[in-house]
Amino acid sequence: MSIVEQARAWIAGDPDPETRRELEALLARNDAAGLEERFAGPLQFGTAGLRGLLGAGPARMNRATVARATAGFASWLLKQVPNARSRGIVVGRDARRNSDVFEREVIEVLSGSGIPVWVFSDVIPTPVVAFAVLKLRAAGGVMITASHNPPEYNGYKVYWENAAQIIPPHDRGIAGEMELAPPALAIPRVSVEEAERRGSLRKADALRGEYIEQIASEVPRTEGHPELRIAYTALHGVAEGTFRAVMDRACFGDVQSVSEQSVPDGTFPTVAFPNPEEPGAMDRVLDLAERIDADVAIANDPDGDRVGVAVRCEKGFEILSGNEIGILLADDLLSLRTGSGQPLVISTIVSSPMMGPVAASHGARWEQTLSGHKWIQNRALELMEEGLDYVFGYEEALGYAPSLAVRDKDGISSALRIADMASRLKARGNTLLDARDELWGKHGVFVDRQLSLKFEGAAAQARMNAVVDRFRDSAPDRIGGLAVVRTLDLDRQLQWTPLGVRPFADLPRSNVLVFELQGGHRLMLRPSGTEPKLKYYFYATAPRHADGGLSAAKASALAVLDRMVEDLRDASDC
């Protein structure tokens, strides 16, 4: 069909008058570019499910897309999980624009498939939904959220019956069923009111309290430890109440919030980009931390599955990188571990290689996966079946999983673990920065930097792939003045070394390139799976210098990092 015919067919099956009007206006003014963007192809299951701009058409998040995704999920689930109609599905939402509308769409389509739904009365953090899927032994879950993306986005996150996010073959299976689904208006559905009358809509509100009790109980308060003063922000998200309840239950001191960011608001009026990683996102909580003389500043992202941390230092507050938080948590949790069997820690391939020596120092097994906790958690389940004792998983993008009660990243339980660690360090007159420096003294200094290039328009994915292909086809033999000793191409599943080309099938196929450099340094690049960005990851390391100590080692590693970044800028014209 032509683009005009596609648009008219979509309008005929679209249940939402707002998005119908959007397409009709584009047709009326012959806006071919606008139509191309909305019909560039269906949204694909990426690192964290479906995610896209709000708007009309299959390449946008809208009621029709959500209805067809839910019909595909229900169809695939019923084929794969025979007792899904008795176990039900957990459904939750954040406070973004249309999250309530999309949640209703999910409930009605699932109900129309004969699958009962567990639902919360209000907005809920993503980790609570993941917890509920596991606790209720549900057949799966759906969370309506775009996590840390800007306000014009929304998304659709799917959990399987194992309470982890979907990976192959289930993502492909759901996508295939979604393609076979009829137009949204023709999908069978049962209204929320009728589902309530039939008793197939079940309240899950008690699971939030059970989550709070479970997470708080995993970190017993030690007598004699000084209380912390914590500055906190939920960045206009949905984590505020649950975070405070967990901290109150665990008795971790005085928590003061950024009041203007404490109420859920999907327009995010006081922050340009509601991601604690982004420059400026933590400015208000840092101002609060200064005013109240806080020990640490903590920020959750809008759906509560990520956490950013800043620590008081001589010059104010230092924001820890995602890798620094991950390594600190890994080392602390391994030190506290009491389980039997070999301990297991997992990180993604784009996270810090410092996890290797830290894990080895505790006799732990270290595994690496592709980006995303869907890979971390499913790999953890496989290895736990083999008898390993899962302790911790993390990705550098502020995503940490310290609890077996949540098979996904969890910014609330991670914040509690950080507070516990900071409290124990404070009792000795130390901070998280001292703990980081101590680890650097043991294992060498590891520093990192990330650059992201944003791509706009219908051809964004193709343009990102073209940049990666340019590096793939003309791979550098030196970066930052250092020889490339190994190149990994996870898409072609090949590796190049001075000894030649060999297969590399240790990880699933993905559009990721890894350049390992002389001296243990590393550069990686990949298109993001959650937003239209091409991401570059730089890692440099240096042993502690006997004469200059940590400061000299850090300066040495940062100098390597600077040269690597400069080389990349020249090579990619960015």
Give Rg (Cα) of the chain: 24
Catalytic option among 75, 113, 147, 510: 147
Question: Which pLDDT score, from 0 to 100, does residue 299 have?
Answer: 98
Nearest of 165, 143, 142, 155 to residue 74 by alpha carbon:
142
Amino acid at 1: M
The number of C-alpha atoms within 13 Å of 375 and in the hemisphere containing its C-beta is: 21
C-alpha 62 chain-centroid distance: 22
End-to-end CA distance of the chain: 38
- Domains of the chain and any CATH numbers: 3-201 (3.40.120.10), 225-443 (3.40.120.10), 445-572 (3.30.310)
Distances (CA, A) of 315 to 149, 153, 280, 422: 31, 37, 18, 19
Tokens of 561: 């990092």
Q: What is the mean pLDDT of each run of 10 residues along the chain (574 residues)?
A: 95 97 97 94 85 95 98 97 96 98 98 98 98 98 95 96 96 94 96 96 98 94 78 98 95 91 97 93 98 97 98 94 98 92 96 96 97 96 96 97 98 97 94 96 94 80 87 89 94 91 90 94 88 89 78 92 85 53
Tokens of 469: 């292909």
Amino acid at 485: V
Q: In the annotation, is 86 catalytic?
A: no
Alpha-carbon gap, residue 482 to 479, rounded angstroms: 5
Tokens of 449: 């930097």
Please give the model's pTM, rounded to 2 decimal places: 0.94
Question: Which pLDDT score, from 0 to 100, does residue 169 have?
Answer: 95
Strand partners, 278: none
Distances (CA, A) of 293 to 113, 224, 235, 447: 55, 21, 20, 28
Question: Which pLDDT score, from 0 to 100, does residue 49 have?
Answer: 86
Is the CB of residue 262 less than 8 Å from the CB of residue 234? yes
Is the CB of residue 58 less than 8 Å from the CB of residue 1? no
- Could you tell me if residue 94 is left (phi over 0), alpha (psi between -120 and 50 degrees) or otherwise beta? beta
Using DSSP bridges, classify how beta strands 482-489 and 513-517 pair: parallel, antiparallel or unpaired: antiparallel
The number of C-alpha atoms within 13 Å of 406 and in the hemisphere containing its C-beta is: 32
Helix or strand holding residue 523 (H, E): strand 522-527
Question: Which pLDDT score, from 0 to 100, does residue 574 have?
Answer: 44
Is the CB of residue 257 less than 8 Å from the CB of residue 321? no
Is the CB of residue 524 less than 8 Å from the CB of residue 537? yes
